[in-house]
Amino acid sequence: MHLYRLLFRLVFRRMDPEAAHHLAFRWIRLTARVPVLRTFLAAFFAPRHKELRTEAFGLRMHGPFGLAAGFDKNAVGIDGLAMLGFDHVEIGTVTGRPQPGNPRTRLFRLTPDRALINRMGFNNDGSAAVAARLAARRPVFRTTVGVNIGKTKAVPESEAVADYVLSTERLAAHADYLVVNVSSPNTPGLRSLQAVDQLRPLLTAVRAAADRGVTRRRVPLLVKIAPDLADEDIDAVADLAVELGLDGIIATNTTIAREGLGLASDPALTAETGGLSGAPLKARSLEVLRRLYARVGDRITLVGVGGVENAEDAWRRILAGATLVQGYSAFIYEGPLWSREIHHGLAARLAASPYATLAEAVGADTRKVTE
Ligand SMILES: Cc1cc2nc3c(=O)[nH]c(=O)nc-3n(C[C@H](O)[C@H](O)[C@H](O)COP(=O)(O)O)c2cc1C
C-alpha cells in the first residue's frame, strides 16, 4: 500500500483538516531547511523532464504543473513546495490588510468524494508582511512564484480597487506573475467584481500600479474566475481580457454548487457553506476552460485548475487549452508523490501523442471541435 495513504488514514484523517494542513506543511518546510536532505528529496520528488519545459507569459518553467493558491497563503514554504515538484507556486490570496479569516471550523474533508469544502475567508498576514517576507527570501530551488491578491473583508466594496492597488504596489516587485482573485465565494461581494463593468476599472488600475512599481520588466497579470459564472459572463471576461491585453486567465476557483457529489459523503458536511473543490469540480472546470480557449485561442494564456487529480486530468486540460495546470485538493489525498506522478504521466502521454512539444498539444482537442 502507498505509504502516504496509510499516513492519511492513520493520522491526518483523524485530525481537524486545518490542523492536519499546518502539521503537514510544517514537515515540508522543516525538511526543506536541511541541506543534504532537501537535495536528496528534490531529486526524488522533482525529477526534471526536459520535454515538459514550458514557457508561459514570457516565463520559463521546468514544467506546466503548479500548486494553486490557498495552500501557502503567506509565502512561508515556497522552497519546500518546489522540492515536492511544483513547477510554479501561487502564494496567497494576500489582502491589503492582515486579517484572521472566518471562525474555525472552516475547512471540511469530503473524503469519499475526494473533495474539500472551505470557507477560510482569506486568512493571511496582509500584503506588507508578505512583501517583506518575499523580499527577504533567498531561494534554494528555482521555481516560479505567482502572487494572488484579493480584497480585505473590512474594506467596503466601493474601495475595493484601492485595496487591490495597495497590494499590487507592495507585491508586484516580488511576483513572477500577479493574479487578481475575484472568484472566492468566502468574501462577501467579491465575486460581483467579475462583472465586466467592475472588472475593467479594477484590472486597469492593477495593471497601472504594477507598471508604476516595476519598470525593469512587465509583470504578467492574470485574473482568476469562478466556475459558477454563466456562459455569457465567461465570454465577457474572455473578451475583456483580450481588450485589456491581460496575460492570462485562471479557470477555475471553487464552486458554490454541490453537484457531482456521491452519496457517501456526510450530508452534514456537504451542506457546509463555502467553496467546493476536488473531484466534483472536474467536469465544470474543464468545460469553462474549453469555452475560454474557443473564445481566446492563443491570444491569452490559460491556466486550468479544479479537480485535477492525476496525469490524465492534467493532459486533458492541456489538450483543452491550458498552458499551465494547477491543483490543490488532490495534494491532500495523494500526498508528496503527487507531482512526480503527474510529471511522469505527462511525459509518457506526450511521447505517445502526435505532438512534438507540449506547446503543440495546448488546445489541440478544442481546436478539433471548433475547426
Ligand atoms: C483550503 C483551500 C483554500 C483556498 N484558498 C484560495 C485562495 O486563497 N485564493 C484562491 O484564489 N484560491 C483558493 N483556493 C482555490 C484553489 O486555488 C483552486 O482554485 C480550487 O481548489 C480548485 O482546485 P482543486 O480542485 O485542485 O482543489 C483554495 C482552495 C482550498 C481547498
CATH code for the domain in which residue 212 is found: 3.20.20.70
Total domains in the fold of the chain: 1
Q: b vs e for 156-191, b when ≥16 Cβ sit within 10 Å of the residue's Cβ?
A: eeeebbebbbbbbbbbbbbbbbbbbbbbbbbbeebb
- Kindly tell me the sign of the dihedral angle through the C-alpha atoms of 21, 23, 27, 29: positive
Whether residue 185 has its Cβ less than 6 Å from ligand 1: no
**Which residue's alpha carbon is at the smallest distance from atom 28 of ligand 1?**
70
DSSP per-residue codes, 195-211: SHHHHHHHHHHHHHHHH
**Omega into 105 within 30° of 0, i.e. cis?**
yes
What pTM was computed for the model?
A: 0.98
Ligand 1 atom nearest to CA at 92: 8
Structural domain including 80 reads: 3-370
State in Å: Cα 16 to ligand 1 middle: 18
pLDDT per position in the chain (371 positions), as tens? 588 888 988 888 899 999 999 999 999 999 999 999 999 999 999 999 999 999 999 999 999 999 999 999 999 999 999 999 999 999 999 999 999 999 999 999 999 999 999 999 999 999 999 999 999 999 999 999 999 999 999 999 999 999 999 999 999 999 999 999 999 999 999 999 989 999 999 999 999 999 999 999 999 999 999 999 999 999 999 999 999 999 999 999 999 999 999 888 999 999 999 999 999 999 999 999 999 999 999 999 999 999 999 999 999 999 999 999 999 999 999 999 999 999 999 999 999 999 999 999 999 999 887 65
Residue 166 CA to residue 128 CA, distance in Å, equals 9
State in Å: Cα 161 to ligand 1 middle: 22
